[in-house]
Amino acid sequence: MIPKYIEHIGIAVKNLEEAISYYENILGLKCYAVEEVEDQKVKTAFFKVGQTKIELLESTDPEGPVGKFIEKRGEGIHHIAFSVSNLPEKLNEVELKGVQLIDKIPKKGAEGLDIAFLHPKSTFGVLTEFCEHKD
């Protein structure tokens, strides 16, 4: 089962408002949603670019994944998210092929999607997310 499309690209930023201003006023995109995801310790802002979205991520906790990422590596691309169908099966499939899973069981992410991450040490340095729209 191959990923259907790139659902979003996650970008870690220090200040959400300043980053939103860049995407709106310089690139001309429209922020259509701002949402806090407590479980992930982030505040997010979304922009549509065709079928793919840009997800800006501001940390709400220095010990959260994005807080630690910015501390260690600075602002920049944090993860890439693929849209998949049957997420539990897809996770099982890649784990059997030797990929290290961060989430063996899907969690609820922004926009109500079911999400799960693969460890960047198993994915050539790119934190990879699988997500599934539950209609």
- Which stretches of the chain bind ligand CMX, using CB under 6 A? 10, 37, 40, 42, 44, 55, 57, 65-66, 68-69, 72, 78-79, 102, 109-110, 117, 119-120, 125, 127
Task: Name the residue nearer to ligand CMX (CB basis): 26 or 104.
Answer: 104
Task: Name the residue nearer to ligand CMX (CB basis): 97 or 100.
Answer: 100
Task: Name the residue nearer to ligand CMX (CB basis): 25 or 52.
Answer: 52
CB of 105 to ligand CMX, least distance (A): 14
In sequence order, what are the residues at sequence separation of 6 or more whose Cβ sits closer than 8 angstroms to the Cβ of residue 32?
Answer: 46, 47, 48
CB of 96 to ligand CMX, least distance (A): 20
β-sheet with 5-13: strand ranges across: 31-37, 42-49, 52-59, 5-13, 76-83, 128-132, 114-118, 107-108
CB of 69 to ligand CMX, least distance (A): 5
> What beta strand segments (E) does 14-127 contain?
31-37, 42-49, 52-59, 76-83, 107-108, 114-118
